Amino acid sequence: MKLHGVINASGDSLADFSIALDVESAVARAKDLITEGCVGIDLGAAGSTQFASRISEEEEWDRLDGKIQAIAELGVELSVDTWKPEIMAKSLQAGANFMNASDGMQNPEMVEIAVSTGVPVVLPFLSGEDPKSLEFVSGDPVEVIVRWFEKSLDDLTKRGLSKEQIILDPGTGFGPANWEWEDRYKYQERVYSNLNKLKIFDLPVYVALPWKFENGRKHLLEILLEVGFDYGRTHLPKRILEIKKELESQ
């Protein structure tokens, strides 16, 4: 299990403790995350929740420029979470070495970037064109996610993307607007309990881990830790590892 620590360069992140608006604070947080157990950093500058405003490409890049270069000097895995191909291309040129393609690799330009650079690509399931335009999933989410990956992987490999680059993300870190927690909990519980069904693709799995632990969220994390995954995107690596240790000692 590899942990990638979250740094938000957007001031409207709900996890306000993860926000770093200048280079110095971004590097400081990156160092803290690495000390607490992360082997990589996931840096984002455009909020994906309904409470975050859509921003221009120029503003998103202004939030990232300087931070990518400085964090890259730490020598860890570094992804940039964006659904804009132009931002992804600039980020890789600036020192990022992972793509967290939050468009679900649905934009042909994003595919071209991945093919030309050969870097690892986090491929999230999306029920829309980007995280801010998602629809509610109808039917069994596990079946829907598996079918979506089957189609997406077939399409991406036909376009020249190497399967070895791809890391699957069930997309549970995203959600449509006005999703009641009770319904979201049931959805995530169903997906996490059946995460092993993604093994048919023989690819690593990347999951957005909770940063709150009340109202059943700790139980969801425990399911994930018991089922297992390859990469965890986390705001709180120290707490995640503590809970993992607690489970292992039972």
Report residues of the chain scoring pLDDT below 50.
none
Nearest to 44 by CA among 28, 32, 61, 31: 61
Round to whole Å and give the CA distance between 194 and 27: 36
What was the pLDDT predicted at 15? 83
Q: Which two tokens stand for residue 107?
A: 């934009």
What was the pLDDT predicted at 50? 62
What was the pLDDT predicted at 41? 98
What was the pLDDT predicted at 55? 81
Element spanning 169, H or E: strand 166-169
> What ranges do the domains of the chain cover?
2-249
Detail the DSSP E strand segments found in 74-138: 77-82, 98-101, 121-124
pLDDT in tens, 176-194: 989 999 999 999 999 999 9
Sheet of strand 77-82, all strands in order from the earlier edge strand to the far edge:
166-169, 121-124, 98-101, 77-82, 40-44, 2-8, 231-234, 206-208
What was the pLDDT predicted at 243? 96
Q: To the nearest 10°, the Cα dihedral for 88, 94, 99, 100?
A: -70
The torsion angles phi and psi of 116, rounded to 5 degrees, stand at -75, -30
What was the pLDDT predicted at 116? 98
Helix (H, G, I), strand (E, B) or coil at 152: helix
Round to whole Å and give the CA distance between 90 and 153: 25
What was the pLDDT predicted at 51? 64
The fold for domain 2-249 equals TIM Barrel (3.20.20)
